[in-house]
Chain A
Amino acid sequence: MTDATVRDAAPPATTTLTELAASMPPGPPRRFRRRSSVKSALKHTGLIAFGFVMLYPLLWMIASSFKPSALIFREPGLIPSEVDLSNYSEGWNALLHPFSHYLMNSAIIVAGSLLGNLLACSLAAYAFARLKFKGRTLWFAIMLMSIMLPIHVIIVPQYILFSQLAWINTFLPLIVPKLLATDAFFIFLMVQFFRGIPTELDEAARLDGCGHGRIFFRIMLPLSVPALATTAIFTFIWTWNDFFSQLIFLTKPDMYTVPVALRTFVDSTGQSSWGSLFAMSIVSLIPVFLVFLFGQKYLVKGIATTGIK
């Protein structure tokens, strides 16, 4: 099932039915077609209306970020009666550090996680997909099960471990685990992909005297760009949105990431400055939105194969 699921580019096989309809005598089908075009117009109207309602809160948040705070509580519409850019400048400087500081902190963690997940997970995946070793089935099953392990089960001892290493309030607790391939989910994704690469390729390379290192770096990785892209995109979004572990490991305002900073923002301002709170929320969503915009193809494939959020 897996491979066919990935290739969602293939058009659904509707042609035969259409051909059947075309070969039918004229008359009834035409009327049928007219009725069905009314039906499809209705369907599209419904789908568009539904999509609009779904996205309305988001659009409204964007619109509200340009309104003076007082208006947010009075205007359910999208077009601000008064445009005010000061929400952004006020929000940017509302906390101890300018917001760019928190963006930078988040970016550092994302960069480290990207490196870790891309390299460590694909190395492990190569072993599971291509190498023959004792206990492979068992280790593979353990790897699969670790995907479903709730982080809460291990967070307390992790915290103790990292505090003994004096790593609390550094980015290390958030990056080092990724360098050790603990996001096993991506190992699985890469294994699936590697299995689809013909073994003849690496066998030929072996005959030419390549070792596993070179096969991995010169053959497997270059052929695995789609899987690497999916991994990169999901790592980015998950790490950027992650709140639980960042809340636990980063307690000093200097080290705050975007989500943790936003949270303190809510506490410190309360109801008074929704405008600037919204403005910074929008800022925090922009990177995710950009990744979504440019990485859609890989996102859809990734979810379809693996079923992640």
Chain B
Amino acid sequence: MSVLGELRSSRKAASGPRARGGLRRGDGRAAALFLAPWFAGLLLITAGPMVASGYLSLTNYNLLQPPEWIGLDNYSRMLEDPRLLNSLQVTFTYVFVSVPLQLAAALALALLLDRGLKGLAIYRSVYYLPSLLGGSVAIAILWRQVFGSDGLVNQVLAFFGVQGQGWVSHPDYALGTLMALNVWTFGAPMVIFLAGLRQIPQMYYEAASIDGAGKIRQFRSITVPLLTPIIFFNLVLQVINAFQTFTQAYVVSGGTGGPADSTMFYTLYLYQRGFGALDMGYASAMAWLLLAIVAGMTAVNFLASKYWVFYND
């Protein structure tokens, strides 16, 4: 399934149609035409800017004067930049706390909804809706009010006689409200889990129950192992997504990453350096570090997957 499965089996996929035959031996010219827009995009919009970004990361550049070569200075500056280190800490905390919670919620709900539950489609839609809206500015605005000092959460708490506080304006809690927002969007991974659960042949459960396996045993020995590729897939995707969180932090903190840099996500700091301070060289170096982190996390996930993901093919 999906991008990851495709990468895993890309050799197989590539040889598939060739073995099937029937195509003319070479379609080079047609392929060049069909791929022309994509090639142009790859060159001008993706690869070219990547190379340029690599070069700029080795310069001091503010858009106005020509780039000045400074070697690895931007990278060594990053190591000593307390705000950057703080933004890494904020982002990692966010990823490591909110992604597992989000996936746990997604899996739990998927299990509850599985197997011919009445009204499945309605539940699925209701739980999925926040995923569609969650990345928008409008929802970030809502969040800012809901967790504000006079916000909905505190009104409800007051109803129970509890005195709340300004959650988004308190350095200890602001990041938590953004994590809550991420968990709130568990619908997308839930839908993927549901699709995965449907792939597990019913006969496994029937055979197991004839052999006397209880529900818990069935869950542990059938559902979990057969679902590990899906769990893995969701994990990789959500980690990559979570590392790039920007809109919510930007809107909820009013673009500052505050209070006291407690919601200064890495991407937000990158934006501030690059487009606020016009420190384009530094921002480029930051971008490469981000790429290295995302690639590194994905690689770790892939390596670790050998020990817990079970492929049934």
Q: Which residues of A contact B (CB under 8 A)?
A: 1-2, 4-5, 8, 11-14, 16-17, 20, 40, 43-44, 47, 50-51, 54-55, 57-58, 60-61, 72-76, 120-121, 123-124, 126-127, 129-134, 136-137, 139-161, 163, 176-177, 179-182, 184-185, 187-188, 195, 199, 203, 206, 211-212, 216, 237, 240-241, 243-244, 247-248, 258-260, 262-263, 266-267, 274, 277-278, 281-282, 284-285, 288-289, 292, 296, 299-300, 303-309
Contacts and interface: CB of A to CB of B under 8 A. Distances in A.
Interface stretch (B24-32, B93-101, B213-221): B24-32
Contacts of B10: 137, 140-141, 144
Of B11, B31, B135, B201, chain A has the most CB atoms within 10 Å of the CB of B31
B152 A76 contact: yes
Contacts of B27: 127, 130-133, 212
Q: Is the interface of B mostly helix, strand, loop or mixed?
A: helix
Contact of B159 (A16, A76, A136, A148): A76
A308 B145 CA distance: 28
Given A54-B127, A58-B133, A120-B37, A274 B145 contact: yes
Given A1-B199, A54-B126, A147 B3 contact: yes
B300 interface: no
B141 A277 contact: yes
Given A11-B116, A144-B3, 9 more contacts: A14-B202, A131-B34, A133-B28, A150-B240, A180-B40, A180-B44, A199-B22, A296-B125, A304-B192
Given A8-B195, A212-B34, A148 B3 contact: yes
B287 interface: yes
A187 B35 CA distance: 11
Interface string B96-138: 0000000000000100111111110001111111111111111
A57 B46 contact: no
A8 B288 CA distance: 40
B87 to A, nearest CB: 13
Q: Is the interface of A mostly helix, strand, loop or mixed?
A: helix
Contacts, number: 331
B49 A180 contact: no
B246 interface: yes
B45 interface: yes
Nearest to B7: A144
B137 A181 contact: no
A216 B129 contact: no
B3 A306 contact: yes
A148 B38 CA distance: 16
A160 B126 CA distance: 42
B271 to A, nearest CB: 8
B136 A153 contact: no
A157 B14 contact: no
Contacts of B22: 199, 203
